[in-house]
Chains A and B, each alone.
Chain A
Amino acid sequence: MGTNRFNNFTEYGIGIGLRAPHYQHILSRKPVVDWFEIISENFMIDGGRPLHILDQILEQYKVVQHGVSMYFGSAEKPNRDHLRRLKELVKRTKTPWLSDHLCWGSVDGRYTHDLLPMPYTFEAAKLTAQKVREVRDYLEVPIAVENVSSYAEYHVSEMSEWEFLNEVVERADCGILLDVNNIYVSSQNHSFDPFTYVNSVPAERVAQIHIAGHSKYRKYILDTHDHPVIDPVWKLYERAIQRAGHTATLLEWDDSIPSFKEVHDEALKANRFLAATALATAV
C-alpha cells in the first residue's frame, strides 16, 4: 500500500516544502531530496523570478502541488481565473496529484485567506464533494483533500470531523492528504482521541501525509508550522503508515524557517517509522 490511484501510483518517499529562504542552497548545493511540495498560489503568476526558480527545480526534482485557496467547502462556485491559472501550473509541474484543504475561506467573492473549518453537515459534504469533482474534471489530475487544524466547532454539525471527511471523499471519490499534526491540534482543541480519527480514515484513499510542528497556548494549540514535530504527532504518523503503508510524506515548516539541513533532517526522522513499519510488515 502507499501507492494508489489518488497519488497516481507514485512512490514519493519523504519531501519538504519548497520555501524561498532555501532556494539558493538547493540550486547551488543540489541536495538529495525525494521531492518538494510547492504552494501552488506562489507560482500562479505570469513570469519573473518565482517561475524561473521553479523551472530550475523541476529540472532536477520531483514536485507536487499543494494549494491554500481553492476552498472546496465555500458555498460559491470555483473561481474560473483561479482554475485557469492552476491548470497552467499543473501542465508546467506535471504534478502527479494535487492537494488543497477541506475547508472554506471565501464568501460572496471576498477572501479571508484563512482555512476556516467546515460545518460537518450532509449539505456541506454534498456541495464540497461536487466542487472537488468539478475541479478534478477541469484539472485532469487526482485530487487529495487535507484535513485542517481548527479552533471552533459549529452547532449545526451533524457528525464528527472524520465522518465528514469520509463522507466527502466517498462522494467525490478523491484522495486524502492526511495531516497528522492537524489531527493532533484539533484533538487538543476539541477534546477527542486523535487515534480514533486516524483509525477511521479510509487508508486506501490516503495519497500523502503531512507532518509539522505547532505552538501551544494556555487554552488552545495553534497550527503554526514553526517548530519540530512533537512525539505525540510522530505516534500518530506511525499509526497512519501502519494503516496506509509507505505513503508520500512531507514536513511543513513555514515560519521561523531554519537552515535547509535542519528542516530536511527533521523530515528524515520519518524514516525511523517507515523502516519499523516495513520490518513489521515483513515479519
Chain B
Amino acid sequence: MKLLQLQRTMARAVMQPLTFTERMKRTAPDGQPMRTYAARFIKPNDRLTSFERLEIYNRQYWFRLLSSMVEDFPGLRAVLGAARFEAMSKAYITDCPSRSFTLRNLGSQLESWLHQHPRWAGNKQALALDIVKLEWAEIEAFDGKAEPPLGPEDLSANAGANLRLRLQPYIQLLSLRYPVDDLLLEIKNSSDDNEVASNAFQERRKRKRVQTVAKLKPAAIALAVHRIDNSVYFRRLEPEEFTLLNEVKQGRTLQKAVAHAFIETKIPPKELPVLVQRWFHNWAALGWFCQPETKTETSARSKNRIKEKPTGARRKRKIV
C-alpha cells in the first residue's frame, strides 16, 4: 500500500464517528467489517488486535475534537443541553472536519452549518445561532490583529467629511435577536464557580442555568465584541451607533456613514451632533480606530480584490 493510500485508509477509519458507548464502529466506512478493514493495514500484537489498535486512534480523535468544542462553545452547550450538544458536535465534525492546522478554527463553520441543520436546536434555533455567533466572535476578538491606534497626528487637517476611519481588525460587530451577552456571562461565571463548588451547589447552579436559558426572551441587541488590555469585553450599542460603526468598518467616508446611520432614526436632529461626538469620543478612548493604511497596503489590497473578484463565490478566508 502506497503512503497516500494508507493515510487515506487510516484517516477514514480514525474520523469515523464512535458508537454510543464510545467504541469504534463494527462496520468500516466502506461497508465491510471493521475487523477486516483494520487487519488490511494494521498489525496485531500479542495483546491487541488490529481493530483494538486502530480504535485507540479513533477514540483519541473524537475525544480531542469534542473537548475542543466543549471548550469553545459553553454557551451553545448550555442552550442545547450537554447530550444534544455532543450529538450535534459529532454531526458537525463529521460534516465539517478540521481543515486548519489549529483546533482554534474548528468551530469556524458552525454558525452556517447550524443554520443549514435547524433540527439540532429545534425551537431554540434563533437563540442557538445567536450564541454561536457570539462565541465565535469572542474567539476572533481574543486573538485578532491589533493595529497601532489612531492618533491626532494621523488625521489630515483637510480630510473633513471625506475622512475614512479604520476599525481595529479584532472588533466584531454583531446584530442579535436575543440578549445572549448576559446569558454567556452567566454561564461562564457559573462554570468558574463550579471549579471549586460542592456537588449540591453545582446542581443548583445547573438548574438555575437551565431556567435562565428557558426564560430568555427575544430582545434585539447590537453588540461590539472587543478587547481592553487583551481581555475580551462585550459592549452593547445603540442601533444607530451599530450602523455607523458598520459603515465605518466597510470603508465609507465619515459623511456617508453618519448620513446612513440616521436615515430612520427617532433621535431628535438637534441631539445628533452631541451624540455622535460622544460616541466617537468613547470609541477613540477604547482605541477602536487604527492608523490609516499606508499607500503600499492600500495598493496591495486593491490588487488582491481584483485578483479575487472573478472567483465570485470564493469564501473570505478566516484568520487561522
Contact of B45 among A116, A191, A222 (CB under 8 A): A191
Are A151 and B7 touching (Cβ within 8 A)? no
Within 8 A of B (CB), among A33-81: 41, 44-52, 69-70, 74-76, 79, 81
Neighbouring B residues of A138 by C-beta, 8 Å: none
Of A153-161, A164-172, A204-212, the one with at least 4 CB within 8 A of chain B? A153-161
Are B170 and A152 touching (Cβ within 8 A)? no
Q: Is B60 an interface residue (CB 8 A)?
A: yes
In the docked arrangement, what's the CA distance between A108 and B8, Å?
8
In the docked arrangement, what's the CA distance between A106 and B104, Å?
16
In the docked arrangement, what's the CA distance between A47 and B4, Å?
36
Please give me the residue from chain A that is nearest to B1 by CB atom.
A156
Are B98 and A111 touching (Cβ within 8 A)? yes
Q: Is B34 an interface residue (CB 8 A)?
A: no
Asked whether A190 and B8 contact (CB < 8 A) given A47-B144, A114-B61, the answer is: no
Q: Is B97 an interface residue (CB 8 A)?
A: yes
Neighbouring B residues of A222 by C-beta, 8 Å: 56
In the docked arrangement, what's the CA distance between A141 and B6, Å?
31
Please give me the residue from chain B that is nearest to A85 by CB atom.
B320
Q: Is A231 an interface residue (CB 8 A)?
A: no
Are B11 and A109 touching (Cβ within 8 A)? no
Asked whether A156 and B53 contact (CB < 8 A) given A48-B170, A49-B230, A112-B15, the answer is: no
Asked whether A219 and B48 contact (CB < 8 A) given A47-B143, A108-B8, A153-B43, the answer is: yes
Contact of A220 among B48, B65, B98, B145 (CB under 8 A): B48
Distance in angstroms from A52 CB to nearest chain B CB is: 5
Asked whether A151 and B143 contact (CB < 8 A) given A48-B227, A219-B48, the answer is: no
Q: Is B316 an interface residue (CB 8 A)?
A: no
Contact of A155 among B15, B43, B57, B102 (CB under 8 A): B43
Q: Is B20 an interface residue (CB 8 A)?
A: no
Distance in angstroms from A18 CB to nearest chain B CB is: 16
Most buried by A among B15, B45, B54, B65: B45
Most buried by B among A69, A113, A191, A222: A113
What per-residue 1/0 map shows which CB atoms of B1-17 lie under 8 Å from chain A?
Answer: 11110111011001100
Within 8 A of B (CB), among A1-50: 41, 44-50
Q: Is B233 an interface residue (CB 8 A)?
A: no
Neighbouring B residues of A263 by C-beta, 8 Å: none
Are A154 and B56 touching (Cβ within 8 A)? no
Of A121-129, A235-243, A272-280, the one with at least 4 CB within 8 A of chain B? A121-129
Please give me the residue from chain B that is nearest to A53 by CB atom.
B230
Contact of A75 among B3, B65, B320 (CB under 8 A): B3
Contact of A113 among B3, B4, B65, B142 (CB under 8 A): B65
Q: Is A97 an interface residue (CB 8 A)?
A: no
Distance in angstroms from B300 CB to nearest chain A CB is: 15
Within 8 A of B (CB), among A80-131: 81-82, 85, 104, 106-114, 116, 119, 121, 123-124, 127
Neighbouring A residues of B103 by C-beta, 8 Å: 113
Distance in angstroms from B284 CB to nearest chain A CB is: 19
Within 8 A of A (CB), among B100-147: 100-104, 142-146
Are B101 and A152 touching (Cβ within 8 A)? no
Neighbouring B residues of A48 by C-beta, 8 Å: 142-144, 146, 170, 227, 230
Are A46 and B319 touching (Cβ within 8 A)? yes
Are B7 and A74 touching (Cβ within 8 A)? yes
Please give me the residue from chain A that is nearest to B231 by CB atom.
A49
Are B4 and A111 touching (Cβ within 8 A)? no
Neighbouring A residues of B305 by C-beta, 8 Å: none
What per-residue 1/0 map shows which CB atoms of A179-202 lie under 8 Å from chain B?
Answer: 000000000011100000000000
Are A121 and B143 touching (Cβ within 8 A)? no
Neighbouring A residues of B145 by C-beta, 8 Å: 46-47
Q: Is B41 an interface residue (CB 8 A)?
A: yes
Are A123 and B3 touching (Cβ within 8 A)? yes
Are B65 and A190 touching (Cβ within 8 A)? no
In the docked arrangement, what's the CA distance between A35 and B50, Å?
41
Please give me the residue from chain A that is nearest to B145 by CB atom.
A46
Neighbouring A residues of B48 by C-beta, 8 Å: 219-220
Are A219 and B47 touching (Cβ within 8 A)? yes
Within 8 A of A (CB), among B295-315: none
Distance in angstroms from A115 CB to nearest chain B CB is: 10
Asked whether A112 and B144 contact (CB < 8 A) given A47-B170, A154-B6, the answer is: no
Neighbouring A residues of B64 by C-beta, 8 Å: 113-114
Are B53 and A152 touching (Cβ within 8 A)? yes
Are A112 and B14 touching (Cβ within 8 A)? yes
In the docked arrangement, what's the CA distance between A23 and B143, Å?
17
Most buried by B among A45, A116, A152, A155: A152
Distance in angstroms from B74 CB to nearest chain A CB is: 17
In the docked arrangement, what's the CA distance between A44 and B101, Å?
10
15 intermolecular pairs with C-beta atoms under 8 Å apart: A45-B143, A46-B170, A48-B143, A48-B227, A50-B143, A51-B143, A112-B15, A114-B14, A114-B57, A119-B3, A119-B6, A153-B53, A191-B45, A219-B48, A220-B47
Chain A residues close to B by CB (< 8 Å): 41, 44-52, 69-70, 74-76, 79, 81-82, 85, 104, 106-114, 116, 119, 121, 123-124, 127, 151-156, 189-191, 219-220, 222
Apart from A45-B143, A153-B45, 9 more pairs, CB < 8 Å: A48-B230, A49-B142, A49-B230, A50-B143, A104-B7, A106-B101, A110-B99, A153-B43, A219-B48
| Closest 4 A/B residue pairs (Cβ) | A46-B145, A48-B143, A49-B230, A75-B4
